[in-house]
Chains A and B, each alone.
Chain A
């Protein structure tokens, strides 16, 4: 298992380097002087000059990139011109809430989605199957913001059940959970549809495999056949495909964090962009890319534990 981890890490390197490179390009593509952009609108001329020499912005491009690379890997991501705090600090504070949101969405959506998909597969062609699949298609067609709006309107405003602004505490407190509920539900909502569809297809394909026939020939009752021999084997493609959905989930969190004022990385980045806080924007984007790579690594590891042919 260790070599799987190492080899996957190794393969992720180009992606990470690519992300750093794109972050580097970001500021160079902008019209204007990168130094004054980083220093901020209101900076004086010598502050700008100091930033220029500090960041090495008067050096040839290759050297600039090397310099930048070194900075990033040693944790120096610059300073936010809004809060005047190191970007690294802002990011580490924002990371927790985003992780909470992503994990709770996954823990809600994955079991529900897989269950619905399995049910649809078992009752293939029947009313239940078509209903679930219709809901799934509707689910992937709904804009994230509208799901949020509906949940806020119904659960937040009309029934006054749950709060919908901001993070009210860490996840292990009651207030924290209450604040997390609506954002997590919104995110889970967007995931259930794709997961149900993926699970249905995967289970259907497995149910026609020869080893399932053998299981039936052994006399294993049908419900056990579906779970032990169908679902268990279908988990392999399900895990892979759900892993691909993580990217969409991350995209959705940006909008969700904005609507619910959830203090996560997505909201930080959007705010930074609107305020021309380039250093924070750059750092935030890099962090998002890293989160994405990390999640994919976890998915890969999970896959290798599920499939004995890989260890």
Chain B
């Protein structure tokens, strides 16, 4: 319908139409990068051109070239193969920590909602855990149990518990107020069913989105702990360890430290981008 009258616009600024960029390109690229990295990591035993532990001192510190696509390190080991296996290990530890930590955290958070009397204790416990910087757990476990992949994995797991617990508790509180929870109780469903099928299942999306965002952070933390020497011991290949190995030769052979770090960066970046996109989609659904 056309407005009558002079048609003169009296608010020129607001007449500008806002074009909303979908950002689909970024998402597609993130998924692609993630797929490549994970795929390569999974297929490392098949794809890796060399044995990652094979030492060849005569070929030490070669820059990227035809024989070794990403060059070699100070012991002549092929960097590309080490990175492939390293990504495998990084992903394995981070994923294990993430999953175990989230299961515990989610159970705690949801239990706090489902059994309100436990909320005071669980709430305080989560608060106290939450108030420590994650790296402290890594350092503390490194101190007690000594360096190693297991202490690092446990530490990463403990670091995940409180945040997931808090998200689960918040999501649970929202869900628990919904009417279908009460109707479930009213028709006499058992506590286990109510807990798992109703409460936990409906909190899944929120928790899952949070995990995608958190995964990147856990990978960085794990790489950091490995970098400090608190994780896998050499000659193990883990991305953080590889980055640390490259430190002494940084000035004249930067590729040794750069490529592993770059891999970490790409991995975490794609996870963060995906996490953001998922979170925006989830927000739109809830709003």
A residues in contact (CB < 8 Å) with B? 14-15, 18-19, 22-23, 25-27, 29-30, 125, 130, 137-138, 140-146, 149, 152-153, 157, 246-248, 250-251, 254-255, 258-259, 269-270, 272-274, 276, 278, 281-282, 285, 288-289, 292-293, 296
Task: State in angstroms the CA–CA spacing of A300 and B254 once bound together.
Answer: 43
Taking the closest CB of chain A, its distance from the CB of B251, in whole angstroms, is 5
Q: Which single member of A19, A143, A269 contacts B224 (CB below 8 Å)?
A: A143
Interface residues of B in 226-281 (CB under 8 A from A): 227-230, 240, 243-244, 246-247, 250-251, 254, 257-258, 261-262, 264-265, 268-269, 271-273, 276
Using a CB-CB cutoff of 8 Å, which residues 88-123 of chain B contact chain A?
none
A interface secondary structure, majority:
helix
Which residues in window 203-232 of B have CB below 8 A to A? 216, 220-221, 223-224, 227-230
B21 within 8 A of A: yes
Interface centre among B140, B246, B265 (most CB of A within 10 A): B140
User: Given A145-B243, A146-B243, A285-B140, A247 and B132 touching (CB < 8 A)?
Assistant: yes
Is the contact region of chain B dominated by helix, strand, or loop, or is it mixed? helix
Question: Given A30-B145, A141-B272, A251-B134, are A149 and B139 also a contact pair (CB < 8 Å)?
Answer: no
Q: CA–CA, A141 to B37, complex, Å?
A: 15
In the complex, what's the smallest C-beta–C-beta distance from B154 to chain A, in angstroms?
11
Tell me the B residues contacting A by CB distance below 8 Å: 18, 20-21, 124, 128, 131-136, 139-140, 142-147, 216, 220-221, 223-224, 227-230, 240, 243-244, 246-247, 250-251, 254, 257-258, 261-262, 264-265, 268-269, 271-273, 276
Identify which of B133, B221, B265 contacts A288 (C-beta below 8 A): B133
A143 touches B250 (CB 8 A): no
CA distance A159 to B283 in the complex (A): 47
- Given A137-B276, A247-B133, A273 and B269 contact (CB-CB distance below 8 Å): no
Taking CB atoms, residues of chain B closer than 8 Å to A19 are 132
CA of A287 to CA of B228, assembled, Å: 19
Closest to A278 in B: B143
Given the contacts A250-B133, A270-B139, A143 and B144 also touching, CB distance less than 8 Å: no
Query: Could you tell me the distance in whole angstroms from the C-beta of A237 to the nearest C-beta in chain B?
Result: 17
**In the complex, which of the residues A250, A274, A281, A289 contacts B229, with contact meaning CB atoms closer than 8 Å?**
A274
Q: List 21 interface pairs A-B (beta carbons < 8 Å), by A numbering.
A: A15-B128, A15-B132, A30-B144, A130-B21, A140-B216, A143-B220, A143-B243, A143-B268, A145-B227, A145-B240, A146-B243, A146-B257, A146-B258, A157-B250, A250-B133, A254-B139, A254-B228, A255-B224, A259-B247, A272-B143, A288-B133
- B221's closest neighbor in chain A, by CB? A251
Closest to B252 in A: A157
Nearest Cβ in chain A — how far from B178, in angstroms? 26
A137 to B276, CA, bound (A): 10
Query: Is the beta-carbon distance between B273 and A270 smaller than 8 angstroms?
Result: no
Contact residues in B for A153 (Cβ distance below 8 Å): 250-251, 254
Q: Report yes or no: B265 in contact with A157, Cβ–Cβ below 8 A.
A: no
Distance (Å) between the CB of A126 and the closest chain B CB? Answer: 10
